Amino acid sequence: MAKFFYACNIPFRVCEHKYFKDFIQHLRPCYDPPNRKQLSGNLLNKIQDEIMDKAQNELKGKIVTLKQDGWSDIHNTPVIANVLSTGESCYFLSAINSGSNIKSADYCLNIAKAAIDEAATKFQCKVQSFVSDNEKKMVLMRKRLSELYSDEKFISYGCASHYLNLVGEEIFKIKNIRDLTANILEVQKYFRNHHCPGAWLKNYKGSCKPQLPGETRWNNQLKCLETFIRNRQFYLQIVGEHEEELDDKIARIINNVIISKEAKSLHSQLIHIANALDKV
């Protein structure tokens, strides 16, 4: 039960809720479930030790790859995470709150060096390769890391899926494609952000929620195109039924046959990049 709480990120206070206790009693009257203190104390320590022992046994003597990535959590706290990979399984190594430190090539290099040492001491495995995204500072950092471990046939390389994401981003910077997606984005935002148009769209069987492109995952750009193409037949019906209530510019974009044809053509070309990203 404790593993279930940890794996699903369930608040420990749930175990002391009346209905949870009633549920457990109906399942097995003689069973006394752990309380909040036990879940946050001895049980947590016990399961952590079990997981660490398992990881140490599986990683001991192995040649592994260190994967490093950084992002901001829901509280906008900058985090850098390190993961070890055997090619078959991945093992969490560490997560560093970078705080006010600037994520420079030198800073990330020091974190990588510390992670390589930690892998050797904690899991008795050897980091022989390193992978990260392809930001300029990370490219420089990988170069310095390879120079540092040059006598050990150390390999460092950029994430292939991130390279493909960068290719996709460059495609959308081309002027005619940028102009096309800007028009599509206006329609998508309009139906997402306006109550009545969104409700009219939802009433049509087969319609879907308009998707907007994200900043870090290029596949979202394609999803934006897909949902526009799928919903256009419903957009047209909404224009016919509620023309006076819709924004004139939005109606013109929806009625524009050229925009529709170009969206389908662009989608048919970019789907191959998206499929490659899904497989990497």
Last residue within a domain, chosen from 158, 187, 215? 158
- Considering the domain architecture, whether residues 65 and 140 belong to the same structural domain is answered as yes
Residue found under tokens 């003689």: 30
Query: What are the φ/ψ torsions at residue 41 (nearest 5 degrees)?
Result: -120, -105
- On whether both 180 and 264 belong to a single domain, the answer is yes
Same domain, 194 and 235: yes
Domain count, the chain: 3
pLDDT (0 to 100) of residue 124 = 93
Residue 66 and residue 33 share a domain: no
Domain membership of residue 114 (yes or no) is yes
How many Å apart are CA 184 and CA 265, to the nearest integer?
14
User: Can you tell me the distance from the alpha carbon of 137 to that of 10, in angstroms, rounded to the nearest whole number?
Assistant: 38
Phi (first) and psi of residue 193, to 5 degrees: -100, -10
pLDDT recorded at residue 201: 95
Helices (H), 194-218: 195-202
Of 103, 137, 158, at which residue does a domain stop? Answer: 158
In a shared domain, residues 123 and 101: yes
Which DSSP state fits 172? T
Residue 187 included in any domain: yes
DSSP bridge partners of 156? 130
Do 27 and 77 lie in a common domain?
A: no
Q: Is residue 49 part of a domain?
A: no
- Whether residue 70 is found in the same domain as residue 134: yes
Residue 279's pLDDT is 63
Structure tokens at 277: 């990203």
CA 149/CA 119 separation, integer angstroms:
15
153 in the same domain as 170: no
Instruction: Examine residue 52 and state whether it is found in any structural domain, yes or no.
Output: no
Rounded to an integer, what distance in angstroms lies between the CA atom of residue 29 and that of residue 32? Answer: 8
Q: Are both 176 and 274 inside the same structural domain? A: yes
CA distance 183 to 152: 53
In tens digits, what is the pLDDT along the chain, a chain of 280 residues? Answer: 899 999 999 999 999 999 999 999 999 988 888 999 999 999 999 999 999 999 999 999 999 999 999 888 778 888 999 999 998 899 999 999 888 888 889 999 999 999 999 999 999 999 999 999 888 899 999 999 999 888 778 899 888 777 777 776 777 777 888 899 899 999 999 999 999 999 999 999 999 999 988 765 667 788 889 999 999 999 999 999 998 899 999 999 999 999 999 999 988 988 877 776 666 5
**pLDDT for 33:** 87
Q: How far apart are CA 229 and CA 86, in angstroms?
A: 42
Q: Which CATH number covers residue 80?
A: 3.30.420.10
Smallest CA-to-CA distance from 84 within 47, 53, 56, 46 is with 56
The domain of 106 spans 59-158
Is residue 272 domain-shared with residue 182, that is, in the same domain? yes
Largest CA distance in the chain: 73
Gap between the Cα atoms of 264 and 271, Å rounded: 11
The verdict on residue 47 lying in a domain is: no
Percentages helix, strand, coil for the chain (3-state, rounded to 5) are 65, 15, 25
For residue 106, give the nearest of 137, 82, 79 by alpha carbon.
137
Q: Is residue 87 part of a domain?
A: yes
Task: Say whether both 274 and 170 belong to one domain.
Answer: yes
Could you tell me if 23 and 82 lie in one domain?
no
Q: Which domain-ending residue is among 90, 125, 158?
A: 158
Residue 50, in any domain of the structure: no
The pTM of the full predicted model, rounded to 2 decimals, is 0.69
Whether residue 51 is contained in a domain is answered as no
